[in-house]
Amino acid sequence: MERLSIARHPSRPKGLEVIQAICSSFQELHGDRLYGDDAAIIGGVGTICGRGVMILAQEKGEETKQKVERNFGMMLPDGYRKALRLMKLAEKFHLPVLSIIDTPGAYPGLDAEKRGQANAIASNLSEMSVLKTPILSLILGEGCSGGALGIGVCDKTLILEHAYFSVISPEGCAAILLNDSHKVDKMVKHLKMQSEDLLSFGMVDQVIPEGEGGFHENKKAVFEHIQREIESWIEAVQAIPVLDLIEERYKKYRSF
C-alpha cells in the first residue's frame, strides 16, 4: 500500500515533465483528424541524443484545473486514434517510438463508448503489434488495463521501481471480487502488479530504481537513468532489421 501511494503521489513527475527532462527539443502534434484532440495524451517529435523520436505520453496534469483538462490521464477514443496517427507517421519517417504510460485506465464514460473506445484500443493493439519501427514503453506510475495497453505494445518495457502495471486497478478489482472498492489492501498483493513481480514473470524487461522516498524525491538521478536507458536502446535497435523486431515482438506477447 505504501508503494501504491508512491506511484500515485501528487508530486510524482508526469509525462510532460519527463519529456522536458530527456529531450533537447520537442514539437507537439495535435488531433486525431477525426474528432478532436485528447489532452490526456501528449504526442510529438522529440530529440534525444541527437535523434528524432516520436513520443507519446499520458499526462494527468498538475493543478486541479489541469487535471480536469487532462481528464486525470484517462484517454478518450480520440486520444488512442491520435496516438495511432502519430505512430504511423513514425513508421513512415523511420522514427523510433517512445510510449510513456501513466493512467488509472481508459475513460469509461458514455461519450467514450459512443465514440468507439473499445474499437480504438483494439485497433492500436493490432497496429502496434506489426508497426514497422521500434517501440519502447516506459511505465511511469500507473499502468491500468486497456488504458495502458492501448499505447503499450512494444519491443521493450521499462518500469519505474514503484510503478505498477495491472489488468485492473486494485479498487476496481476489490469492487468486482469483494463488492467493496475500499478493500484495496486485500487486492494489491494478489494482483502481482508491482515491478519485481512483473520482472519475474517476464512482463517487463527492466526496472529503473527510484531511490529512497520514490521518484519525486530523487528526480535528477532518476531522469538521468531514464535518459541513459532510452539512449542505449535507441543505439541498440538501429542494427536490428525491422522484420526481425516485429517477429520478436510477436514472440514476446505470445509468451505471456
CATH number at residue 249: 3.90.226.10
Is residue 183 assigned to a domain?
A: no
Residue 194 pLDDT class (50, 70, 90 cuts): very high
Give SS3 for 138. strand
* 203/191 Cα distance (integer angstroms): 13
Predicted TM-score (pTM) of the model is: 0.95
Is residue 176 assigned to a domain?
A: no
Is residue 175 assigned to a domain?
A: no
What percentage of the chain carries pLDDT values higher than 70? 100
- What's the gap between Cα 217 and its chain centre? 21
pLDDT at 189: 83
Residue 183 pLDDT class (50, 70, 90 cuts): confident
Query: What's the structural domain count of the chain?
Result: 1
- Which CA distances in Å does 123 have to 31, 128, 177? 17, 8, 29
Is residue 174 assigned to a domain?
A: no
pLDDT at 49: 87
Is residue 54 assigned to a domain?
A: yes
Q: Domain containing 105: what range?
A: 2-166+192-255
Is residue 141 assigned to a domain?
A: yes
Reported as type and span, the H/E element at residue 142 is: strand 135-144
Residue 182 pLDDT class (50, 70, 90 cuts): confident
Residue 92 pLDDT class (50, 70, 90 cuts): very high
What percentage of the chain carries pLDDT values higher than 90? 92
pLDDT at 112: 95
